[in-house]
Chains A and B, each alone.
Chain A
């Protein structure tokens, strides 16, 4: 099918962004990333786009398609409204590199503060026994560090002191499964600048998350822990949150 794209363009040194249109023939199962790479290969080699794994596991190809944060590799063109040009823009709230690429430095400055290890305990069916030499099955955390939630969050967009949904979800994961980490620093982080209380439940983070992290839900859990910690400080160890 023939599809028209309107792509946000920007090069280092440019004063402002502009849009450029491209038309190309795509196959039925093609994704937005397939199309962007075809545009780079066939129409304009100067198009800058980040990508790596091609299957929604690395989190590098986050963009906004028709105003919505998505992974380009995970967005089928056939699922988008037909007959209208497809608008592709970079994520918000990150420093621009060029065209659709953004620098994830600000994302990681927030995310890393939670200190979430990459590997977590894997869920296993009842009765499962790991093999000789393996204590317990492990697996990578769900969060693929793509930054879609941070771009979609209306609070993080306007306030840089708010550490945002990905970092708070990471903190909640540390609380849920501390591994060898102490909970003090991570709860302090969540309480800092009233982080957990600034969320206004827009739920955009959970809506755009491509990896079922559910930052909004994680944040609610974290609020309970932070509140419980606060009450303990006020009323001593015996206090319980109703």
Chain B
């Protein structure tokens, strides 16, 4: 009884204090929720201890600009992290809220491919061109974060071989370096390939650690003053009329609610973007499209191995530490939190991948999981005023069953121009892990334009802190 009374009393005081309503001050040091509160890393603590891991010293520590506009980002995935980094470099005050751990949504779950762009050259040229450019930039600003072993597109059947000409031409048109490799040479590079292959095409694919690469954006953003709050779920978007004034969040680590004021709220919630948009009374045409991936024991290749045909199910094999990841499939769902996997999907993916690397079929399965891509299209397509752009709009076909026909482009929606507008509310959706920096650049351009600021993007050249800086005290 005594315990309960004390508990109640504590809650009341917590609530009192938490109604801060206004803008969060980064200097606030009240004893509120403890750890998720970012600790601004001291540069000394962050400097990699004599490590070849990165030239992190190149990332500047900017003094936070007092009185600068405040941008609140909903979603702690790769897009939110890259956007926080971009906006802090442009001198804005930034807060990121994420309902779970950073990168716990789609970002951390993808197969870890740093796209060369080749996968999309025949189906989505704009995405291919952008991937090709971003591939080079990310290698430059995230040194040490990739297994830079290149990739192969392998032709096994007549049908695959017939695809070669179209594929090579499209690679050339999209500025994706490509080179034909004869069968024997390919087998010398990757002895685990299906010996029945006809030939292969080498492209500059690479693999990344799906969590640690984006974590570098978060680490650098926080060092530059961004306030990043995991385990903080948005429960409402606060509005004055049709103008967004901030968000109301529930801090899951302390079980309390409070408000955060903002000049602009950016919805970067990936496949959950539709839910966040609904809180502001607007819609976004985001279709959660899960894909299944399977990790088997053993490192069965060093290069990324793709099937030479248009993107389909079970046509990619990637090395990852001592595992091999194979994927993937594609379908559409309503609830990105409920991504049940049918055993048939796992079997189909393993079967398809084993045509590329036969040892996959006999390897022990370590894990099978799914991640929801935030594809643009589906219901509500076209309702948002599209501003930033990663390329041409895909087919926009609504109600497709698989999501393969939806483009991989990304878009930034300024909801001020919607039929039922929400001023000060922007959604960024779509895209790939490989294009996170470009998505952030385009979205930050929109945010700055809305604030009437002319601030150029500089994320092209700023080398990021190593991922471990995220955990520095």
How does the 8 Å CB contact mask read for B249-277 relative to A, with 1 for contact and 0 for none?
Answer: 00011110000000000000000000000
Contact between chains at A211 and B321 (CB < 8 Å): yes
Contact between chains at B255 and A11 (CB < 8 Å): yes
* Interface assignment of A112: CB less than 8 Å from any CB of chain B: yes
Task: Tell me the chain B residues, 191-229 only, with Cβ under 8 Å from chain A.
Answer: 191, 202, 209-212
Contact between chains at B108 and A41 (CB < 8 Å): no
Contact between chains at A138 and B253 (CB < 8 Å): no
Set of chain A residues within 8 Å of B36, measured between Cβ atoms: 97
Interface of A is mostly: loop
Contact between chains at B191 and A125 (CB < 8 Å): yes
Contact between chains at B472 and A108 (CB < 8 Å): yes
Contact between chains at A55 and B302 (CB < 8 Å): no
* Interface assignment of B150: CB less than 8 Å from any CB of chain A: yes
* Interface assignment of B247: CB less than 8 Å from any CB of chain A: no
Contact between chains at B101 and A51 (CB < 8 Å): yes
* Interface assignment of B29: CB less than 8 Å from any CB of chain A: no
Contact between chains at A179 and B321 (CB < 8 Å): no
How does the 8 Å CB contact mask read for A123-143 relative to B, with 1 for contact and 0 for none?
Answer: 111011111111001111110
Set of chain A residues within 8 Å of B405, measured between Cβ atoms: none
Set of chain A residues within 8 Å of B254, measured between Cβ atoms: 11-13, 98
Set of chain B residues within 8 Å of A45, measured between Cβ atoms: 233, 252
A2 to chain B, nearest CB (A): 18
Name which of B49-57, B392-400, B448-456 contacts chain A: B49-57
Contact between chains at B321 and A119 (CB < 8 Å): no
CB-CB nearest in chain B for A133: B150
* Interface assignment of A66: CB less than 8 Å from any CB of chain B: no
Contact between chains at A41 and B337 (CB < 8 Å): yes
* Interface assignment of A111: CB less than 8 Å from any CB of chain B: yes
Which bracket fits the contact residues of B? 35 or more
Name which of B141-149, B380-388, B421-429 contacts chain A: B141-149
* Interface assignment of A95: CB less than 8 Å from any CB of chain B: yes
Contact between chains at A137 and B302 (CB < 8 Å): yes
Name which of A81-89, A99-107, A152-160, A191-199 contacts chain B: A99-107
Set of chain A residues within 8 Å of B109, measured between Cβ atoms: 52-54
* Interface assignment of B463: CB less than 8 Å from any CB of chain A: no
Set of chain B residues within 8 Å of A123, measured between Cβ atoms: 299
Contact between chains at B101 and A131 (CB < 8 Å): no
Choice from B190, B191, B322, B366 contacting A74 with Cβ under 8 Å: B366
19 A–B contacts from the bound complex (CB under 8 Å): A11-B253, A45-B233, A47-B252, A53-B211, A54-B109, A54-B369, A55-B367, A56-B323, A60-B108, A95-B35, A103-B35, A104-B471, A105-B473, A107-B471, A112-B49, A118-B466, A118-B467, A129-B188, A211-B321
